[in-house]
Amino acid sequence: MPGSVPSVDAGKNTPDLFESENAALRKARATYLAPEATVQDCRQSLGELIGQFERMMRQTRRLIGHSDRAEREMHALNTQLQALVQRLEHCATHDALTGVYNRSAVIDMTNKALAADSAIMIVLDIDHFKHINDEFGHPAGDSVIQGIIGCLRREIGEAGFLGRVGGEEFTVLLPRCQIDDAIRLAETIRAAVAGHVFGAPINRSVTASFGLSANPRGTSFDAAYSVADTALYAAKRAGRNRVEVILPGQTVVAN
């Protein structure tokens, strides 16, 4: 008696996805177990099994090909999704016109920085910006904002982070910075802005006023900004295009 062959249980209550293959396998098993099976019977069963196997191989190769393409497409879609998420995250934290941090990001980053260490906050405002918009139009005003941001980026470098908190108002946070160094940097920025000549239709320089606050560790954004903003308006009252600083426990000091 020939040895037994493992049976294939396709399941009684589920569709048989391999009906033709199982039929060929059952026929081959019956032939294998039949004592009276002839060589011709065996060859026929073997031929049918070979045919079914070859068909399954072709189908498997096609499925593998489809799977590979689907995997590549999924990878491409995932890459696009990650890029979209990064763009959305950037849009959520950056100002569309200038590319610097927006107000909400400035608040968050300032609170985190001041929770860890002291920092100097600089608040600056473009002088007579409304006159620029009224005289030359908002596109010209936008070009002024972008030009001043360029000056700020060049002078600040990696010393701190820059944000736009209002139409023509910006902040610079300088973590672990000494007040004298911050005043020198603010004066350097002020001079760079005042020395920048804008092209047509403005064809002249534009100035900005600066207010500084020195903030110990644990200061909130609101407190740091309020003091720097008070110093800024002192600079405006004193004639604009200047730097003012309010030290902890002190009144406005002119520079």
- pLDDT tens digits, the chain, 255 residues: what are they? 444 545 545 445 666 667 887 887 888 888 888 888 888 888 888 888 888 888 888 888 888 888 888 888 888 888 898 898 888 888 899 999 999 999 999 999 999 999 999 999 999 999 999 999 999 999 999 999 999 999 999 999 999 999 999 999 999 999 999 999 999 999 999 999 999 999 999 999 999 999 999 999 999 999 999 999 999 999 999 999 999 999 876 654 444
Q: pLDDT value at position 1? A: 43
Confirm whether 73 is a catalytic residue. no
Task: Give the range of the structural domain holding residue 229, as residue numbers without chain letter.
Answer: 103-254
Tokens of 26: 């059952």
Is residue 175 included in any domain, yes or no?
A: yes
- Domain for residue 211, yes or no? yes
Q: How many helices (H) and strands (E) does the chain have?
A: 7, 8
Q: Give yes or no: residues 66 and 159 share one domain.
A: no
Among residues 53, 69, 2, which one has the least CA distance to residue 31? 2
Please report the DSSP string for 209-238 in residue order.
Answer: EEEEEEE-TT--HHHHHHHHHHHHHHHHHT
Whether residue 109 lies inside any domain: the answer is yes
Structural domains counted in the chain: 2
Q: Using an 8 Å Cβ cutoff, are 159 and 114 in contact?
A: no
- Can you give the pLDDT at residue 38? 87
CA-closest candidate to residue 186, choices 165, 212, 168, 167:
212
Cis-peptide into 15, omega within 30 deg: no
Does any domain span residue 10? Answer: no
The answer to whether residues 25 and 134 belong to one domain is no
Position 7 in a domain: no
> Where does a domain end: 60, 92, 124?
92
- Give the residue from 38, 59, 92 where a domain finishes: 92
In 3D space, the residue among 34, 29, 66 whose CA is nearest the CA of residue 48 turns out to be 29
| pTM of this structure | 0.70
- Catalytic pick among 168, 169, 187, 244: 168
Residues 23 and 67 in one domain: yes
Q: What φ, ψ does residue 10 adopt, rounded to 5°?
A: -80, -10
Q: What is the pLDDT of residue 253?
A: 45
Question: Do residue 64 and residue 114 come from a single domain?
Answer: no
